[in-house]
Chain A
Amino acid sequence: MPLIDRAQVLHVAKLARLTLADDEVPVITAQLERILEHIAQLSEVDTEGVEPTAHVGVDRLPLREDVVAPSLDRAAVLAAAPDTVGHGFVVPAFVEE
Chain B
Amino acid sequence: MELLDRSIVEVQAALARGEVSARELAEATLARCADPAHAGVHLDHDPARTLAMAAAVDDKRARGEPLGPLAGVPIGLKDVLVTRDARTTCGSRILEGYRPPYDATAVARLRAADAVFTGKLNMDEFAMGSSNENSAYGPVKNPWDPSRVPGGSSGGSAAAVAAGLTLGTLGTDTGGSIRQPAALCGVVGVKPTYGRVSRFGLVAFASSLDQIGTFARDVRGAARLLEVVAGHDPRDSTSVVQPVPDWVSACGKDVKGLRLGVPREYLGEGLEPEVRASIEQALELLRGLGCSVVPIDMPHTRYGVSTYYVIATAECSSNLARFDGVRYGLRVAGKDLRAMYGATRDAGFGPEVKRRILLGTYVLSAGYYDAYYAKAMKVRTLIRRDFDRAFEQVDAIVGPTSPSVAWPFGQKTADPLQMYLADLFTLPASLAGLPGISVPAAKGAESGLPVGLQIVTPAFDEARMFTLAHAFEQVSPGRWDRAWPRA
Q: Using a CB–CB distance below 8 Å, which chain A residues touch chain B?
A: 4, 8-9, 11-13, 15-21, 24, 28, 31-32, 34-36, 38-39, 41-43, 45, 47, 50-57, 60-62, 64, 72-73, 76-77, 79-83, 89, 91-94
Contacts and interface: CB of A to CB of B under 8 A. Distances in A.
Contact of A47 (B346, B379, B416, B432): B379
B362 A8 contact: yes
Given A12-B365, A91-B337, A52 B328 contact: no
A66 B114 CA distance: 32
A41 B303 contact: yes
Interface string B331-359: 10111111111110110010100110111
B303 A45 contact: yes
Contacts of A19: 339, 342-343, 345-346
Contact of A92 (B336, B346, B377, B420): B336
Contacts of A34: 415-417
Contact of B432 (A56, A61, A79, A80): A56
B13 to A, nearest CB: 36
Interface string B362-406: 100100000110111111111010000000000000000000000
Contacts of B409: none
Contacts of B338: 17, 94
Contacts of A28: 351, 354-355, 358
Contacts of A13: 358
Contacts of B349: 18
A18 B342 contact: yes
B238 A51 contact: no
A43 B100 CA distance: 43
Interface in B240-256: 240-241
B345 A17 contact: yes
A72 B345 contact: no
A50 B102 CA distance: 42
A20 B237 contact: no
Contact of A73 (B101, B194, B317, B416): B101
Contact of B362 (A32, A62, A80): A32
A15 B342 CA distance: 10
B284 to A, nearest CB: 34
Given A34-B415, A42-B306, A16 B361 contact: yes
B317 to A, nearest CB: 6
A38 B417 contact: yes
A85 B439 CA distance: 52
B381 A50 contact: yes
A17 B354 CA distance: 11
Given A39-B306, A42-B307, A60-B195, A17 B342 contact: yes
Contacts of B266: none
Contacts of A12: 358, 361-362, 365
Name, among A39, A61, A77, A91, the residue most crowded by chain B CB atoms within 10 Å (CB to CB).
A39
B300 interface: yes
A62 B371 CA distance: 33
Nearest to A94: B337
A42 B326 contact: no
Name, among A57, A64, A83, the residue most crowded by chain B CB atoms within 10 Å (CB to CB).
A57
Contacts of A72: 101-102
A43 B310 CA distance: 13
A40 to B, nearest CB: 8
Contacts of A20: 346, 354
B234 interface: yes
Nearest to B305: A38
Contacts of B362: 4, 8, 12, 32
Contacts of A61: 237-238
Given A16-B357, A31-B355, 9 more contacts: A16-B345, A35-B416, A38-B306, A56-B208, A80-B98, A82-B329, A82-B330, A91-B337, A93-B336
B321 interface: yes
B327 interface: yes
A12 B284 CA distance: 51
Contacts of B381: 47, 50-53
A57 B346 contact: no
A53 B382 CA distance: 9
Given A57-B194, A57-B240, A76-B101, A64 B234 contact: yes
Nearest to A72: B101
A52 B232 CA distance: 26
Contacts of B100: 80
Contacts of B99: 79-80
A19 B349 CA distance: 11
Given A17-B324, A34-B417, A76-B101, A62 B241 contact: yes
Q: Which 3 A-B pairs have the closest CB atoms?
A: A19-B342, A56-B433, A52-B377
A9 B102 contact: no
